[in-house]
Structure 1
Amino acid sequence: MALSDVAPIPLRKQPDYRLLWTARTISVTGSEVSKLAIPLTAITMLTASPSQMGLLTAAASVPALVFGLQSGAIADRLTRHRPLMIACELVSCAAAATVPIAWLLGLLNIIWLITVALVIGTAGVLFRAANFPHVAAVVSPAQRTEAMAGFHASYSVASVSGPGLAGLLVQLLTAPLAVLAEALSFLTSALLLRAIRTPERNEPAASRGMWRDVVEGLRASVTHPVLRALLGAGVTINFFAMAYTAVYMLYMVNTLGIPKALIGVLIALGGLGGLLGAWITARLSKRYGENRILLVSVLFFPMEILAVGLLTGPLWWKLSLLALTGTITGGIVVAFATCMGAIILRETTPELRGRVNATTTFAVQGVLAIGGLVGGVLAEFLGLRPVILICAAGIALSAIWIWTSPLRPNRPRPQVPPPPSPDVALSQALDHVIYSKRHRPI
C-alpha cells in the first residue's frame, strides 16, 4: 500500500495540533479579557480623558501598521518559527503582568498602559507572522482546511466567552488584577507551544535586504491571480464592513429601537454561528473543495447588512430576523476565512509564507481605520440607513473579485510564473480575518 493511500490521523488525535490549538484558544481568550480590563483600568482607576482613551485604543493597532510588512520578512528568514512564537508570548506575559504590579505599587498611569499595549501589539504582530509557517509544519496539506476551521472555532469561542469572563473577573478582582488573566494566558500558551515536538525544516531563501524582501512579498501578492483576487476581496469586505460597524450601534439603538442589553446577545449568536460554520466547513471542504465553498459563501456576505438596512416592524420580528441573519453570517464569516486561508496556502510556496501573509494582513487590517472613518463621515451627511445600504452594496462587490478569478470552476488559469516563493494563509484569518460586526475582520 502506498503511503498516500494511508488515511491521515484525525487532527483531534494529533498531540501537537491539540497543543497548538489549545495554546491559541487560551491566548485569544486572555486577549479578549484584556480588551475590557485594560480600558476599564484606564477609566475607573486612572480617570482617563477621551483623548487618552483614543491614544490607548490606537496603541493596539499601531504595531501592525508600523511593523506588519517587516514581520513577514523576519519570519521568512527563520529556519524555526516556534522559538520566536514562544518568545513573543513570554514578552507579552511580562508586559501584561506589569499592569497589576504597577497598580499595587502606585506607579500605574496612562503612559504605562499605552506602553504595555504597544509591546503586546508588537509581539502579536511578530507572533502572527511566524505562526502560519509553523501551522504548515504541524499540519499535513490534506488537513489544513480542517485545522483552519478549528482555529476559527477557537476565536468564536473566545468572542463569546471572553467578554463575560472579563466582566466577572473585573467584578471580583478589579480591572487591573483582571489583566493577570491575560498574562497567565500568554504564559500558558508559551508552555504549550514549548511542548510541541514536530520538527521544523524550513529552508529560507537568501535575504536581499529588508526593503527588497518586503517588496518581493508585495509583488507576489498582487501578481498571482488567485492571491490578488483574495486580497482584493478581503480589502473590499473589510472596508465596507468597518464603515457598517461605525454606525451599527447607533442604528440598532436609535433607529431600530433594539434594547441595549439584547445587542450583546445578538453579537454572541454570531460567535455561536462561527462555531457551527467551522464544524460544517471542515466537513463540506472534503466533499466540495475550498473553491466552491468560497464562491458560495461570498454571495451571502451582504445578507445581514441588507436585512438590517431594510428592517421594519414590531420588536419581536426585528429580533427574530437579526438573530437568524447574525447566526448565519457568523458561520459564513468563518467559512470564507477558513477557505481563504487554505487556498492561499495551496497557491503559494514556502519561502514567501511570512511575507505574503504579512502583506495580506497589513492590507485587510489597514483598511479598517479608513472604512470606519468613511462610514462615520457619510452618516453625518446621508443618515444611518443609507450608509448601511451602501455598505451592503459595497460588500457585494467582493463577489466580483472571487467570481472573475481562476477560482471559478472551468475558468482557465492564466499562466503566470510562480512567485519567487509564497505559501500562506491569512493568519488570523488566524487572527483572523473577515469581517463581522464583532470586530473580527478578515
Structure 2
Amino acid sequence: MWRDGDFRRLWMGQTASQLGEHASLVVLPLFAVLTLNADAGRLGVLRAVGQAPILLLSLFVGAWVDRWRARTVMVLTDVGRTLALGATAVAGLLGWLGLPALLVVAFAVGALSVFFDVAYQTSLVRLMKRDQLVRGNSALEGSRSAAQIGGPALGGALVSLLSAPIAAASSALFFALSFLSIRRIRRIESIPERSERPPGVWRRIHEGLRFVVSDTSLRTVCLASAAFQFSFAAMMTVYLLFLPRELHLSGTAVGLALAATGPGALLGSMLAASLPSRFGHGAVLVSAAALGDGVFLCVPALHGSSAVTVPALLVVSFVFGTGGQFVTVTVMAVRQAVTPDGMQGRVAATITFVGMGLTPLGSLLGGFLAEEWGLRASLLVTATGMMLSPVVMALSPLARLGRALPATQDAPPKAAHPEAHEMDLRDTDAAHDAATGTSP
C-alpha cells in the first residue's frame, strides 16, 4: 500500500490538513480570548458557529462532492482555509480583526473542513482496491488520531510562545502543505457520470438518503451511530461534572484522563488493519464496540483518592479510544465497500448528519439528568445508553460479516436521464413523488 505514491500523497495531505484543523480549533478561541478579550458567552457562540456547518451543510456537501473529482475539492478547500487563516493572521497583527470577522472565519473554516472530510473519504475508494480499504482507512484514521492529540497541543503552544496571529498563520501553513501534497496526486479520477439534465441538489440528497435507508448495513450503521452519539453526548456532559465534583480531580488530572483516548485510538487504528481479515468484520466490530462503550460502566463505581482514580480513568479512556477507533475504521471500510462510487459523498454525509444530529439533544439530556438524579446515577444511566450501539449492531446482519468486505450494492435509479428516455421516466418520478409525498 505504501508503495503507492498517490496514497502517500493523500496520507500526507490529510495528516497536514487534520493538524491544521485541530490546531485552529484551539487557536481561534484563544485568539478571541487573548486578543479580543471575549467573555465566556461570546466564546461559546464562536465555538457553536465553527461547529454549525456539520449540521447545516453535510447533506448538501455530500451531493456536491459526488459530482466532482475528490482531488479538486480537497485542493480548493485547502486553498480556501489557507487564505482565511492567513488573512486572519494579517488582520490580527495589524489590529483590524474584530469578533464579527472572527465568527465569519470560524464558519468558513468549519464549512471548508466539512467539504474536505467528505472528499477525502470519497477519494480513498477511487485510489485503492477493495481489499486495501481497511488498511487504507487504518492509516488515515491513525494520522487523524495523532492530529487530534498533537493539533490542539501545538496550537496552544504556538499561542503561548509566540502570539495568536502567528499561531493562526502556522495553522494556515499546515493547510498550504496539504495543498502541495494533494495536488501532486497523479491518478486521474473519472468525473462522475452526468446526465444532460442533471437532477437538483435536493433530489440528489433524496437519492443518498434513500440508498442508506434501503441498505441493511448502512441503515444499521446510521442507527448505531445515532444511538452512540446521542448517549455519548449525554454521558460526556455528566462525566465532565463527575470528575471534578464527585472524584475531586484537578483540571490537570481531568485533562490527563481524557488525553489517554488518543494513544488508545492509535492502537485501535493499527488493530483494525489486520484483525477483521483474521476473525471476521462482524465479530470484531461488535466486540470492539461492546468493549469500548461498556468500559464506562465501571466509572460510577470509582471512589477514593486521585492516586487510585486517575490510573483507573486512564485505563478507561485508553480502552474507549481503542475500541472506538477500531469501530470507526471498520465501519468506514464497510460503508465504502457497499457504496457505489457515485454515491460515496452522499452516503458519508448522510451518516455524519444522522449520527451527529442528535448530539445537542443528548447534551441537554445529560444536563437535565445530572440536576434531577445526581451525577453518579446519571453517569450510570447514560453509560448504559451507550450500549445501545453494539446491541443494534449485534442484532443486525452487520454482525455476520465475514473476513471479506461485502459486495457493492446497486445504486438507486437516477433521478434524471438522457433526453431519449426523459418522458417515460418523468412519469415514473411523478408516480414515486406522489406515493412518498416528496417533490422535485
Query: Taking structure 1 as the reference length, what is the TM-score of the superposition?
Result: 0.88
Q: Within 5 Å, give how 1:155-170 maps onto structure 2.
A: 155-170=144-159
Q: Within 5 Å, give how 1:35-184 maps onto structure 2.
A: 35-78=25-68, 80-184=69-173
Match of 1:303 in 2: 294
Say which SS state the counterpart of residue 258 (structure 1) adopts. coil
Q: Within 5 Å, give how 1:225-304 maps onto structure 2.
A: 225-304=216-295
Contact 2:264 2:321 (8 Å CA) reproduced: yes
Contact 1:270 1:328 (8 Å CA) reproduced: yes
Match of 1:29 among 4, 12, 19: 19
CA–CA separation in structure 1 for the residues paired with 2:292 and 2:264 = 14
Which structure has the larger Rg? 2
Match of 2:381 in 1: 390
CA–CA separation in structure 2 for the residues paired with 1:294 and 1:204 = 34
- The residue type paired with residue 18 of structure 1 is R
Count matched residues.
407
| Cα deviation 1:74-119 (Å, max 9, x = unaligned) | 11222x2211210011001100111121112221110111000111
Contact 2:139 2:269 (8 Å CA) reproduced: yes
With over 3 angstroms needed to count, the CA separation of the structure-2 counterparts of 1:421 and 1:30, relative to structure 1, is farther
Match of 1:317 in 2: 308
| Cα deviation 1:180-204 (Å, max 9, x = unaligned) | 1210011110110011112212433
CA–CA separation in structure 2 for the residues paired with 1:180 and 1:387 = 43
| Cα deviation 1:399-427 (Å, max 9, x = unaligned) | 2211121123389xxxx9844189xxxxx
CA–CA separation in structure 2 for the residues paired with 1:272 and 1:74 = 35
Contact 2:283 2:401 (8 Å CA) reproduced: no
Say which SS state the counterpart of residue 408 (structure 1) adopts. helix
Match of 1:195 in 2: 184
Percent identity over paired residues: 31
Contact 1:88 1:123 (8 Å CA) reproduced: yes
- The residue type paired with residue 183 of structure 2 is R
| Cα deviation 1:320-339 (Å, max 9, x = unaligned) | 22111211111101100000
Matched, 1:352 2:357: no
With over 3 angstroms needed to count, the CA separation of the structure-2 counterparts of 1:170 and 1:196, relative to structure 1, is same
Match of 2:417 in 1: none
CA–CA separation in structure 2 for the residues paired with 1:405 and 1:212 = 29
Which moves more between the two structures, 86-95 or 255-264?
Answer: 255-264
Say which SS state the counterpart of residue 89 (structure 1) adopts. helix
Q: Which runs of 5+ in 1 are unaligned?
A: 1-10, 423-442
| Cα deviation 1:251-295 (Å, max 9, x = unaligned) | 111111223212222222210111111111112123123222212
Match of 1:432 in 2: none
CA–CA separation in structure 1 for the residues paired with 2:74 and 2:154 = 25
Q: Within 5 Å, give how 1:360-379 maps onto structure 2.
A: 360-379=351-370
